[in-house]
Structure 1
Amino acid sequence: MRKPLLALAIAAFGIGTTEFIIMGLLPDLARDFAVSIPKAGTLVSAYALAVTVGSPLVVLALAKVDRKRALILLMSIFILGNAACALAPNFHLLLLARICTALSHGSFFGIGSIVAANVVPREQRARAVAIMFSGLTLANVLGVPAGTALGQAFGWRAAFWAIVPIGILAGAGVWALVPHQHSEPVHLKHELKSVMRRGVLTTLLISTMSSAAMFCVLTYITPILEIVTHITPHGVTGVLVLFGVAITVGNLLGGIMADSQGFRAVAIGFVALTVLFALMPIAELHVLAMLLVIALWGMLHFAVGAPLQTRVVDQARGAQNLASTLNQGAFNLGNALGAALGALVLTHGFGYRALSLASAVVAALTAGLTVLAIVWEREDKKKSDDHLRFSMGH
């Protein structure tokens, strides 16, 4: 592994732990601040909204800053934000600290993806982005369970304090290992025009739909496993660790496949996910079958992340920082939409087994849109080649 990628992966591990650890600490937070669980849940939704809306604005503000310096600044915000969370005397200040911390999330992944892609040969870019994102997936396997256990044993504030040194280590790694990369001259009008290209908007929509398909089921995976599959609460923890391992493997395999197969690998992945979600209601009735489906689901779904991140950068010529960050916002928007879709299914009385069928529909639509994006890209390339031949002929 190239040393800059290690520093970026450590940062991704810290950011991923911060994002997801709150879910395991919600009951403790609600009890400590005397608020309801739904109100405590705004710590999750506000974070996602801040990533979606705030991160692109941060990237635009840092547009003229050297990328290495921008990453160090963002890690500083991350460190201070987590310290502020640990010190928050009331719920509203904790919420504000979470929002401030979230501003570093999408911005770091957006700029970090470009840095990762630029430190390797062109044919290894998706693999490099996947290595950075492996820190995010490892956070689900190691960081979140460890942080949750720490918070339950010593109080939720201890969990946030434990994240601070991870941020310091990541910031030091970026300072010592990541090379300086100057951003291209930025013109806001040109950047906005670049991200409005059909290829960019299509990729952002695919990213949103991909996350929606995933979180329609994942948001409610614990009651599904306990009520439908009849797995014990302790067993559910083991299943979630299995899912975390699967997404880590899938993330790395997706980067390798994207470098060799291109965007076709993403289309194939969504077709496979459609079939898997359609079969999940049957698998949910059998423990071993459900374990197999969950492992395959995790691998397939995270295999498309790095290729989508690489593609949006390729399509946004002249606005790479902004497009890359917008894609992180698209993923987070999909998280919220997927959870909302799942809630809609349940409130209309369709039951937990219907959730994966809703995900299957979304995955099928995503597969169709991905194929359409490939067709459009070929048409655009043909037009460009025809125009070039016409120009050379005259």
Structure 2
Amino acid sequence: MPLAVYVLGLAVFAQGTSEFMLSGLLPGIAAGLHVSVPAAGLLTSAFAVGMAVGAPAMSLLARRWPRRRALLGFLSAFIAAHVAGAVTTSYAVLLVTRVAAALANAGFWAVALAAAVALVPPDARARATSVVVGGVTVACVGGVPAGALLGGHLGWRSAFWAVALVSLPALAAIARTIPDDRSPAASAAGELRVLASRPLLVTLAMNALFQGATFCTFTYLAPLATHVTGLADAWVPALLALFGLGSFAGVTLGGRIADAHPSALIAGGMTALAAGWAALALTAGSPAAAVPLVFVQGMLAFGTGPALIARVLRLAADAPTLAGGLTTAAFNVGATAGPWLGGLAIGAGLGYRSPAWVSALLMAAALGTAASALRVRSGSAATPSPTR
């Protein structure tokens, strides 16, 4: 695997840390800027919305830029947003910097996915995708807890400074390792026609449902562990880290399998995930069952996800940057909608097991979407051509 692919993973690690670290910094931000905790929580929502909306827009903007310059531009803007956020005393300014960082992150993701695939031969594309996505899993395992720990000892601003500093080596490495070539892009209208194909839209929908299922249960894993499984609060970080370790194992193994057997991995992984979320909902009261399932579900989720992303990039090979943007948008739509649906289930009085059931239903919907597309394709192939 080229060094440049790992460099992209390093940059994604810094950006993933920024995206998820605010959950441990909200009380400090609220106190430091004299706002309520719910108001501080809007900073997380602003980032997620910026990612979902900004990914297609930023990829459209960058589709004809040389890849190296696009990556350097987006990462430089991301670093600048964090420096501005670290020094501001205004909540409004911090909110704007979170949106700006999300837009830069979305653009970087879109170009990085296209660049990673372009740097390797066709039989290694899923593995390259898994390396880039692996930056997020490392962020969940190490970056987010480290950010929370740093924020607790040195204040929330220190976590923002740390993200900016960690991004600097990636910035320098991108300047040295990423070729300054352009995507083989067609006209904007031609690319949009590619993106309107039914198989691609189905795969994007599956991506959104898939990520919704993953983040629905992950978001509420702490209350599930303490209120249902019966674990002490002190065990929650270890359980979250266990999910992260499973995720890291998944991207490491899944990338290798997906290049040789992509369809089998996607079908088998999604089926196993649907069964696994249902099993977690049923057995959450038993630590002996719930704890191993957390690891397994993390491994299955992040082992299968890169294969879905690689399929999007393969189906839209003539519009790689825009495809990367839509993949990023689908990821973030799922990451936003899943926790929202899980919260609705808890708010309806269904208990802390209910997010796992919601995850199982979302995975069933993803499988149903895939099966429906296969039936339509089979029906079209079986219909004889009309004769005169």
What's the TM-score once normalised by structure 1's chain length? 0.93
Counterpart of 1:189 in structure 2 is: 189
Counterpart of 1:299 in structure 2 is: 299
| Structure 2 CA distance for partners of 1:139 and 1:77, relative to 1, 3 Å | same
The Cα shift of 1:61 comes to 1.4
Whole-Å Cα distance in 2 between the matches of residues 249 and 106 of structure 1?
A: 25
Contact 2:343 2:355 survives alignment (8 Å): no
Whole-Å Cα distance in 2 between the matches of residues 300 and 316 of structure 1?
A: 25
The Cα shift of 1:216 comes to 2.0
Counterpart of 2:143 in structure 1 is: 143
Whole-Å Cα distance in 2 between the matches of residues 329 and 70 of structure 1?
A: 18
> Cα deviation per residue 1:280-301 (whole Å; 9 max; x = unaligned)?
1232111121110100110011
Contact 2:58 2:325 survives alignment (8 Å): no
Contact 1:283 1:293 survives alignment (8 Å): no
SS in 1 for 2:89: coil
Whole-Å Cα distance in 1 between the matches of residues 235 and 279 of structure 2?
A: 22
The Cα shift of 1:181 comes to 2.4
Contact 1:126 1:310 survives alignment (8 Å): yes
SS in 1 for 2:349: coil
Counterpart of 2:96 in structure 1 is: 96
> Cα deviation per residue 1:134-158 (whole Å; 9 max; x = unaligned)?
1111011111111110011000000
Say which is worse superposed, 225-234 or 146-155, in terms of deviation. Answer: 225-234
Counterpart of 1:391 in structure 2 is: none
Matched, 1:210 2:206: no
Counterpart of 1:390 in structure 2 is: none
SS in 2 for 1:352: coil
Counterpart of 1:67 in structure 2 is: 67
Q: Percent identity, please.
A: 34
Contact 2:17 2:140 survives alignment (8 Å): yes
Say which is worse superposed, 24-33 or 201-210, in terms of deviation. Answer: 24-33
Whole-Å Cα distance in 2 between the matches of residues 370 and 172 of structure 1?
A: 42
| Structure 2 CA distance for partners of 1:281 and 1:86, relative to 1, 3 Å | same
Task: State how 1:263-274 maps to structure 2 within 5 Å.
Answer: 263-274=263-274
Counterpart of 2:325 in structure 1 is: 325
Counterpart of 1:175 in structure 2 is: 175
Matched, 1:281 2:281: yes
The Cα shift of 1:354 comes to 2.1
| Structure 2 CA distance for partners of 1:89 and 1:240, relative to 1, 3 Å | same
Contact 2:53 2:329 survives alignment (8 Å): yes
Counterpart of 1:314 in structure 2 is: 314
Contact 1:264 1:374 survives alignment (8 Å): no
Whole-Å Cα distance in 2 between the matches of residues 116 and 185 of structure 1?
A: 16
SS in 2 for 1:179: coil
> Cα deviation per residue 1:31-87 (whole Å; 9 max; x = unaligned)?
222222222111111101111111221221122211111111111111111111111
Contact 1:228 1:285 survives alignment (8 Å): yes
Contact 2:58 2:106 survives alignment (8 Å): no
Say which is worse superposed, 178-187 or 339-348, in terms of deviation. Answer: 178-187
Whole-Å Cα distance in 1 between the matches of residues 375 and 124 of structure 2?
A: 24
Whole-Å Cα distance in 2 between the matches of residues 296 and 185 of structure 1?
A: 39
Structure 1: any 5+ residue segments left out of the alignment?
Answer: 388-394
Contact 1:18 1:163 survives alignment (8 Å): yes
The Cα shift of 1:186 comes to 4.2
Whole-Å Cα distance in 2 between the matches of residues 207 and 27 of structure 1?
A: 33
Whole-Å Cα distance in 1 between the matches of residues 261 and 370 of structure 2?
A: 14
Whole-Å Cα distance in 2 between the matches of residues 173 and 312 of structure 1?
A: 27
Task: State how 1:90-129 maps to structure 2 within 5 Å.
Answer: 90-129=90-129
What's the TM-score once normalised by structure 2's chain length? 0.94
Counterpart of 2:32 in structure 1 is: 32
Q: Which amino acid aligns with 1:12?
A: V
Counterpart of 1:235 in structure 2 is: 235
Contact 2:127 2:256 survives alignment (8 Å): yes
Whole-Å Cα distance in 2 between the matches of residues 356 and 116 of structure 1?
A: 33
Q: Which amino acid aligns with 2:350?
A: F
The Cα shift of 1:332 comes to 0.6
Say which is worse superposed, 361-370 or 267-276, in terms of deviation. Answer: 361-370
| Structure 2 CA distance for partners of 1:198 and 1:114, relative to 1, 3 Å | same
Q: Which amino acid aligns with 1:244?
A: G
Whole-Å Cα distance in 1 between the matches of residues 99 and 328 of structure 2?
A: 16
Task: State how 1:69-84 maps to structure 2 within 5 Å.
Answer: 69-84=69-84
Contact 1:267 1:371 survives alignment (8 Å): no
Counterpart of 2:359 in structure 1 is: 359
Whole-Å Cα distance in 2 between the matches of residues 374 and 330 of structure 1?
A: 21
The Cα shift of 1:374 comes to 5.1
> Cα deviation per residue 1:250-290 (whole Å; 9 max; x = unaligned)?
11222112111122311111111111111112321111211
Whole-Å Cα distance in 1 between the matches of residues 247 and 372 of structure 2?
A: 26
Whole-Å Cα distance in 1 between the matches of residues 196 and 264 of structure 2?
A: 23
Contact 1:200 1:323 survives alignment (8 Å): no
Matched, 1:57 2:57: yes
Contact 2:59 2:324 survives alignment (8 Å): no
Whole-Å Cα distance in 1 between the matches of residues 14 and 353 of structure 2?
A: 34
Counterpart of 1:201 in structure 2 is: 201
Contact 1:266 1:370 survives alignment (8 Å): no
Matched, 1:44 2:41: no
